[in-house]
Each structure stands twice: as structure tokens, then as C-alpha cells.
A and B are shown apart, each in its own frame.
Chain A
Amino acid sequence: MGPVDVHSPVAEHAAELARARKDIVRIATAGSVDDGKSTLIGRLLYDSKAIFEDQYEAVARASKGDHVDLALLTDGLRAEREQGITIDVAYRYFTTPRRTFVLADTPGHVQYTRNMVTGASTADLAIVLVDARRGMVEQSRRHAFLASLLRVPHLVVAVNKMDLVGWSEEVFDRIADEFDAFAAKLSVPDLTVVPISALHGDNVVRHSPNTPWYEGPTLLHHLEHVHVASDRNLTDARFPVQYVIRPQTDEHHDYRGYAGTVASGVFRVGDEVQVLPSGLTTTIAGIDGPRGPVEEAFAPMSVTLRLDDDLDVSRGDLIGKPENVPTATQDLDALVCWMTDEPLRPRQRIAVKHTTRSVRAVVKELAYRLDVNTLHRDREATELGLNDIGRVRLRATQPLFVDDYTRNRATGRFILVDEATNATVGAGMLTPAG
């Protein structure tokens, strides 16, 4: 292979596209083993030209049969290939001239809840795959429910294998209607349904001649244009202190800065702020960003705040605005997704990590266990097993500074850690009791 002419118009164009200012959109995909999820992801990666040639060739060699098996592009570990399953959340990257995508690919088998919750936790958009021949099945409901539980703002239902139902508009409409009705119950803010064939590429990147009745966007077009900027909370200023910076050098003798990531809202130099738990107020003297001082900081910038008064502020404290602070509470009412074999039971002791604050807590009460298929609340339940979701009340040894998860994903979430094994065993979303 000869060297690339880096000054050719093609190279210059490619470099220009690469340099373009883009935003990142995070996607979670869910689907069961047979509905073609791996093929769809392979298709997205391949058709968006993100599949590097050598990976493609390795797959071409490993594929059985005549056609290249796109699913092999995503089945990562040898252990998985041998067993024909996907073990864990895998992350993929692809980029188009408009956007760059981080895709959390979650398997659809037994560990589905734990993995899907993990993948959906950071997602702007979730893709649920449905086999057109089978329509909306139990697992599709479950995936849609988990996406809504995690407050993923955009849900896409990809009705796959449309070629196997003769590209029937009627079949597609029926599935779309079913999903609409179900989504209405879940408070899914934005639902889009697309008829596709991942195997043949219809409506994935290019409009399909087989679906003249479909006037909506292709899947990729939707991913590229869905409006994610307004999903963030820019109203409630929240800054969990992560690390205190004190250089203690001659040059920066008096420097004392509070480093952290803006969880939500906007902070500006000169703003009056209130520090929790002390409740003391002061003003922002300066904000240092990665390239020096800035006038303002917003989520998810990592910055360092300097304050006008010399207060006692440490990791785990939260800086807010006096007229708008989160609730300080030791009682945590939350929907908890349990992620380990040993069940969660009342009176159990557990560690909680919320923003940058870690506290110990005791499980006071299990109000109910949720059946993720029927949404039925089982109030007789005495424990939460692996992959169960339930409403739990915890009592923490110290106050946490919280908001409802529905209002603020950043300050409404926590993880649960087993104090003996140190394993992450649960994920919690704070919601008002009810």
C-alpha cells in the first residue's frame, strides 16, 4: 500500500469532517438474542464507514458461509464466540459528519436488567429491537420500561426483519400502535418507530424502496438529528465538590480551589452560592477550566471554583445557589435495581455512593417489588433478587443532597456497594414516595 496523499482534496475533506465541531450522542441498544441486534450494530458501524478495513477482513475470514456475518463485528471475547452469547456491555464508536456516537451494546439474555440499566444509565437515546414476525413481546416491554425507568429521553423502536413479513405496512402499523399505547403508560417523552432490515440495510442508512409507505427518517438520520441539547437540566445549579486543590507553592500561595464536575445548571463568576451541609453563603471569585479562567461553567464541564470567602469546604460537599438548593435528607426513597445474587433485604447494611459523597445506610423497608413485564407492584415481597426492581427506603448515617431523578438525573441517582465484597450491587433512582 502506498502512502496516502495527505494534501489531496479527499484527504483535506476527510480532515475537515474529522475536525468539525460535533456533539456526542450516547446510545444504548437492547434486544434479545435472535432479533438481529448485533447485525444492526454491525450494519450501523459498517455503513457509516467506521469499520476499519482490517477488522472487516478478520471478520470475513472468521465468518462461516458465503456472506460476511456482521454480527461477528460485535461479539468481542473468545469466551462469547465459543458460547454464542454476549457477556457484558460493550462500547462501540462511530462517527458521521454531523455527530459522534458512543453506543453501549447490551446483551438480551439472563443478565439483561443489570446490563441494560448499566448501558441506559448514560444514554441520550435507547434503541429497542423488535422482530417484525413476533411483534412486541415481553422482552420488548421490559426494554422499553427500563429505558423509561432510567429516564432515557429518546426511545427508538426498530422493527427488524421487515423483509420476512413481506414489507407489510399493516404489520408495521400494528406494532407501532402497540408500542405507542405501552409508551404512553411509561411517560416516554419521545418515541420513534422505524421499519428496517438490518441484514439488507433497508432504512438503516438509506431509505428503502421496499417501504414506499414509510415517510419517517432512516434510523441513522434520526440518530443524527434527534434534539438532545434540551434534555439537560440547566436550571438547578449543582456542583458536588470532588477534590480540593491547594498548590501550597510560593507562586500560588493562597490558591484554594474546589474541583468538580458541574452536575446541572450554570455557575458564573460573581454568582452568590451556598455550600451544603454548612449552609454558608459566599460568591464565586473565579472559575478555572482546562484552558484557564472562564466566565461560566455548565454541565458536564470539569472545572475548579474559587470562592470569595475562606470557608471549610471538602469533598462530598455540594455548592448550589441560595434560592435553589437540593433537599438534604437521610431518608432515601428510591427505585432500586438489584444486581447481585445475594438478595437485598430489610435491615441490611450497605454503602451508598451519591455524587461525590459516600455514606453508610440501612435498608429500612421494601415497599414493593415491581414486575417489569406487567408493571404490577408486589407489596408482599420480602426481598429483591438479582435483576429485580423495587421501591426501597434507606436511612443514611449522614444527609445526602438530593433531587428527584425525574427532575435531575445527576443528583437523583446513587449506587449501592456491598461493604464486605466491595462489589457494586445496586443502582438507585430517587423518586417521591408513592
Chain B
Amino acid sequence: MRTPDYRLSQLETLEAESIHVIREVAAELERPVLLFSGGKDSIVMLELARKAFAPARIPFPVMHVDTGLNFPDVLEFRDKRVAELGVELIVASVPDAMARGVVREEPNGSRNRIQTPVLLDAVEEHGFTALFGGARRDEDKARAKERMFSFRDEFGQWDPKSQRPELWDLYNGRIHLGESLRVFPLSNWTELDVWQYIAREEIAIPPLYLAEEREVVERQGMLYAVNEFVRPRDGERPFRALVRYRTVGDANLTAAVRSEATTVADVIAEIAVTRMTERGATRGDDKVSDAAMEDRKKEGYF
């Protein structure tokens, strides 16, 4: 793989930058953890962490905030991947927290907001000082202003007005006791970069991302696959459609899209022509308001 002109392609440049960030955290922070949901972004992030320390094992655990509403395929994928890499998996469970009365189910059935206190409790319990997240700046307007190293106070809150300036590749990992950092190694990746990297590196992904004929119902113009969390309501008639998921969130709220993309290469072709952001297209909970993400981030969400 000689590059006679000493230039890196965009994927190689992004990969190098992410590995640099991951190593920097491992070197400077005492107790990092990588948030792994089994979604494509965290899969790529975990793969980059593997590369950053190979042939040694990843020197930090991974954590999943389990809302109890996950697609079974994704959980299976999560467990398999973690076992292959020999890393420790910590599960922070939203149903457990609900049982303990720490959080309460919201009327709309979304556990997006209530997973934040569960995450913050787990961070405190394990003493984590840095949390790797797979967020990308191209996802959302509030994310566009996020740093690679995002400082959080002792309540895990994000204050967009008092972020640390981030210059060159010199990241400031200094924190006081009780404070933490959120670190986003994929900040500069776009959705298409993530998919191209998955194709290039032949990284395994959960089958939900690829088109298959699934039983669905239509709700507010979006298609939801019928599963243990989504039951047809009165007046809804389930039908079969060739669909896939563009993001993998909670099974009760994540819509599928009509798609003929049965391979990763097809997915790349599809994304290249559709140019709809994945959140706008499929996440019901982000449609609530234009500033939804900004508000959630301030509370400590990713």
C-alpha cells in the first residue's frame, strides 16, 4: 500500500485523527470508557480503538446504556463483538433504574431523556473520567459546535458558552475530581465516511442496517417494523415491505425506510443519492423541536 506522493485519502486521514484522539485519552485520563450501542457509529469507533492499541487489547471497558427497548439483533451483535475483542462490558440499565424509582417512564414512551440520569449514575458509580461517544458533527446543528474533547461539569452538563478552545491537535484532558470529558473521535466523519469505512474495512454490522422484507405499520408518514415493542394500533394495518434502518435506536421509536439496499455497497449508493439526514428521516424524538438536541446535551445527554 505505498503512497508515492505521501498523501492520505480522506478515510485514512479521518482514521489517523480518530486513532490519535483515542490514544491521547488513554494516555491522559485515568478511567475512560467507550459507549457502545451496537449502532454503526459506535461499531466504527470500537474498531478504531482496537486498531489504536493492537496487538494489545483495548485498555478500557465499553459501556452500553440499555433502555430495555433494544432490537434483539443489536444486543446479540453487541455481546458477540465484545467477546471477540475480550473487553469488559458494563451495562447501565434503564429498566433497573425505573424499578429502583430513579427515573420514570415518560408518557410518550421515549426513554431518550430518562437514559441521561442512568448514564450519569453509571459514570459516577464506576468513576469514569472520559466517555467516548460516536457522535459526528454533521448530524445536527448543536453537534456542529461540539469539541473533540467536550468538557462536562460534575453534573455532566454541557455549557456551549464555556467550552475550551481546541487548537491544532493539542487536546486538553485536565479535569478536576468529579468532572469528566466526553470525547468524540468521529467528530469529523460524515455518514457517508462511516459507511465507506465499513465497506473498506469489511466491518460486521447488525443485519437491521440492510434491506429485508419486514412487517411494518405506517405512523405519521413513517414505517415502523412490528416487533415486541411496536404493536399495530387500532386502524393500523400491518403490511410487508422491503425496508432497512438508517439508525438503530429504541425499537419502539426508530422508523425504517423503504430501501432496496441489501449490501453495504448498496447502502453507499443509496445515501449518495438521497441526501436526507438520518435523524430527520427516522428519529421521531428529534422532530419535537429544532433545539431538541441542544436541550438534551445541556442536561448531559451525548
Checking A3, A23, A234, A417 against B174 with a beta-carbon cut-off of 8 angstroms, the contacting residue is: A417
* Residues of A with C-beta under 8 A to B275: 49-50, 52-53
Given known pairs A2-B258, A11-B272, A118-B166, the reply for A356 and B27 (CB within 8 Å) is yes
* Contact digits for A236-279, partner B, Cβ 8 Å, 1 yes 0 no: 00000011011111011001000111000010000000000000
How many Å from the CB of A353 to the closest CB on chain B? 5
A53-B276, A78-B294, A424-B165 are contacts. A15–B265 as well, Cβ < 8 Å? yes
Q: Would A77 and B294 count as touching, CB distance under 8 A?
A: yes
A8 to chain B, nearest CB (A): 8
Residues of A within 8 A of B260 (CB): 3-7
Q: Give complex CA distance A1, B222 in Å.
A: 10
| Residue B26 at the chain A interface, CB threshold 8 Å | yes
- The stretch of A89-97, A199-207, A218-226, A364-372 in contact with B is A89-97
| A246-B56, A261-B169, A300-B8 known; A55 vs B277 contact (CB < 8 Å) | yes
For window 76-131 of A, CB contacts with B under 8 Å fall at 76-79, 87-93, 95, 100, 102, 114-115, 117-118, 121-122
Q: Which of B165, B166, B258 has the most CB of A within 10 A?
A: B165
- CB < 8 Å: which of A76, A234, A288 contacts B6? A234
A259 to B59, CA, bound (A): 14
Contact residue among A1, A288, A424 (Cβ-Cβ distance under 8 Å from B54):
A288
CA gap between A2 and B270 in the complex, in Å: 12
Distance between Cα atoms of A393 and B268 in the complex (Å): 52
A54 within 8 A of B: yes
Q: A102-B188, A301-B8 are known contacts. Are A23 and B281 too (CB-CB below 8 A)?
A: no
CA distance A410 to B168 in the complex (A): 8
Query: Is the beta-carbon distance between B166 and A424 smaller than 8 angstroms?
Result: yes
Could you say which of A78, A232, A302 has the most chain B C-beta atoms within 10 Å of its C-beta?
A302
Tell me the B150-200 residues at the A interface (CB within 8 Å): 160-161, 163-170, 172, 174-176, 187-188, 190, 192, 196
Q: Is the CB of B55 within 8 A of A252?
A: yes
Rounded to whole angstroms, the CA-CA distance of A187 and B260 in the bound complex is 55
CB distance from B183 to the nearest CB of A (A): 15
- Verify if A360 is at the interface (C-beta below 8 Å from B): no
Verify if A67 is at the interface (C-beta below 8 Å from B): no
CB < 8 Å: which of B51, B172, B274 contacts A290? B51
Q: Are B5 and A229 in contact (CB under 8 A)?
A: yes
Query: Which residues in chain B, 244-269, are within 8 Å of chain A measured between CB atoms?
Result: 257-261, 265-266, 268-269
Q: Are A18 and B272 in contact (CB under 8 A)?
A: yes
**B167 partner residues in chain A, CB cutoff 8 A:** 117-118, 121, 413, 415, 424, 427
Residues of B within 8 A of A4 (CB): 259-261, 269-270, 273-274
- Residue of A15, A23, A295 touching B8 (CB-CB under 8 A): A23
Which A350-374 residues have a C-beta within 8 angstroms of B? 351, 353-354, 356
Contact of B23 among A88, A117, A243, A246 (CB under 8 A): A243
- Chain B, interface size category, equals 35 or more
B16 at the interface (CB under 8 A from A): yes
A residues near B24, Cβ cutoff 8 Å: 242, 356
Given A3-B242, A121-B168, the answer on whether A18 and B137 have CB atoms closer than 8 Å is: no
Minimal beta-carbon separation of B126 from chain A (angstroms)? 22
CB-defined contacts of A90 to chain B, threshold 8 Å: 144-145
Chain A residues contacting B15 (CB-CB under 8 Å) are 290, 302
How many Å from the CB of A101 to the closest CB on chain B?
10
Q: Given A245-B56, A288-B54: A77 and B160 within 8 A (CB)?
A: yes
B7 at the interface (CB under 8 A from A): yes
The chain B residue sitting closest to A2, CB to CB, is B258
Say what secondary structure dominates the interface of chain A. mixed
Q: Closest CB of chain B to A233's CB: distance in Å?
A: 11
Task: Verify B137–A14 contact, CB threshold 8 A.
Answer: no
A52 to B139, CA, bound (A): 11
Give the shortest distance, in Å, between A34 (CB) and chain B (any CB): 22
Among A79, A247, A414, contact of B56 (Cβ-Cβ < 8 Å): A247
Q: Contact between A78 and B145 (Cβ–Cβ < 8 Å)?
A: no
Are A100 and B269 in touch, CB under 8 angstroms? no
Which chain A residues in 389-421 approach chain B with CB under 8 Å? 409-410, 413-415, 417
Within 8 A of A (CB), among B7-51: 7-10, 12-17, 19-20, 23-24, 26-27, 51
Q: Please indicate the chain A residues that have their CB under 8 angstroms from the CB of B288 in the complex.
A: none
Chain B residues lying within 8 Å of A14, measured Cβ to Cβ, are 269, 272-273
Choose among B13, B142, B259 the residue with the greatest number of A CB atoms under 10 Å from its CB. B13
> Does A315 lie at the interface of the complex (its beta carbon under 8 Å from any beta carbon of B)?
yes
Complex contact A23–B268 (CB within 8 A): no
Q: For the complex, give the distance between the alpha carbons of A315 and B164 in Å.
A: 24
Q: Which of A1, A15, A87 contacts B268 (CB 8 A)?
A: A15
> Judging by beta carbons under 8 Å apart, are A6 and B261 in contact?
yes
Given A54-B276, A295-B2, A315-B27, is A19 in contact with B172 using a C-beta cutoff of 8 Å?
no
Given contacts A89-B145, A118-B167, A252-B56, contact A52 B276 (CB under 8 A): yes
Cβ 8 A contact of A247, one of B55, B138, B272: B55
Q: Which of B137, B170, B192, B269 contacts A353 (CB 8 A)?
A: B170
- In-complex Cβ contact of B187 among A1, A11, A91, A95 (8 A): A91
Residues from chain B with a CB closer than 8 A to the CB of A246 are 56
**In the complex, B280 has a CB within 8 A of chain A:** yes
| Chain B nearest Cβ from A70, distance in angstroms | 14
List the B side residues contacting A18 at CB < 8 Å.
192, 196, 268, 271-272
Instruction: Enumerate B228-246 residues with CB–CB distance to A below 8 Å.
Output: 242
Chain A residues at the B interface, C-beta cutoff of 8 Å? 1-7, 10-12, 14-15, 17-19, 21-24, 49-50, 52-55, 58, 62, 76-79, 87-93, 95, 100, 102, 114-115, 117-118, 121-122, 229, 232, 234, 242-243, 245-249, 251-252, 255, 259-261, 266, 288, 290-291, 294-296, 298, 300-302, 315, 339, 351, 353-354, 356, 409-410, 413-415, 417, 422-424, 427
13 sample A-B contacts, Cβ–Cβ < 8 Å, listed by A number: A4-B274, A7-B269, A12-B269, A14-B269, A54-B277, A88-B163, A252-B56, A290-B16, A298-B6, A302-B17, A413-B168, A415-B170, A423-B164
* 5 closest A-B pairs by CB: A54-B280, A14-B272, A15-B269, A247-B56, A76-B141
Known contacts A23-B10, A93-B137; 11 additional CB pairs below 8 A are A1-B258, A19-B268, A23-B13, A24-B13, A24-B14, A78-B291, A79-B161, A121-B167, A245-B56, A290-B51, A300-B8
What is the interface of chain B, defined by CB distance below 8 A to chain A? 1-2, 5-10, 12-17, 19-20, 23-24, 26-27, 51-57, 137-138, 141-142, 144-145, 160-161, 163-170, 172, 174-176, 187-188, 190, 192, 196, 211, 242, 257-261, 265-266, 268-277, 280-281, 290-291, 294
